[in-house]
Amino acid sequence: MEKDCIFCKIIAGELPSCKVYEDNNFLAFMDINPAVRGHTLVIPKHHCRNLLDTPDNIGADFYPVLKKVANACKAAFNAEGIYIFQQNEPAAGQEVFHSHVHIIPRYKGDDFGKHTPPRLKVEIAEIAKDAEKIAKHI
């Protein structure tokens, strides 16, 4: 638990939240500034800054919880799809520094998430070089 972390305060019951799921290791609650109705956050109870420093044992248990909450959001809001994303560090848009995943109901024709940068045109040889760079760090 981090003293100044808003999500740690929610876990501890020091701040209110609209909980949708809780177990020993994870908590899911409604985003108080939702992109759309049903926008839900899923967090580990163990404080970690983001995915990049989440312990492997927590990460392994995260996916089934995300699936459970995503299916519930899809059913509850009659969504045609679910957008699941996570941001790591300020350059990627992370604002709360406690690992969390956004689950957002989606519908055909909605305009959410349509404002992504254009795709690059990169030769396959350059893509292969990029793959080698990444692989060296694994």
Rounded CA-CA distance 44/11 in Å is 9
Token digits of residue 61:
């248990």
Burial environment of residue 18 by CB neighbours within 10 A (0 to 12, 13 to 18, 19 or more)? exposed
> What pLDDT digit, counting tens, does each position of 54-112 carry?
999 998 899 999 999 999 999 999 999 999 999 999 999 999 999 999 999 999 988 77
Using alpha carbons, select from 96, 115, 107 the residue that is nearest to residue 36.
Answer: 107
What is the domain partition of the chain in residue ranges? 6-112
Output the pLDDT for position 15.
Answer: 97
Catalytic residue among 100, 102, 115, 137: 100
Rounded alpha-carbon distances, angstroms, from residue 40 to 22, 26, 33, 72 = 13, 13, 10, 10
Output the pLDDT for position 111.
Answer: 77
Rounded CA-CA distance 48/101 in Å is 13
Global model pTM greater than 0.85: yes
Output the pLDDT for position 120.
Answer: 80
Active site residue 100: yes
User: Averaged over 5-21, what is the pLDDT?
Assistant: 97
Token digits of residue 128:
């292969």
- Give the CATH number of domain 6-112; options: 3.30.428.10, 3.20.20.70, 3.30.470.20, 3.40.50.2300: 3.30.428.10
Output the pLDDT for position 116.
Answer: 66
Rounded CA-CA distance 132/126 in Å is 10
Output the pLDDT for position 49.
Answer: 96
Output the pLDDT for position 62.
Answer: 94
- Mean pLDDT taken over the chain: 92
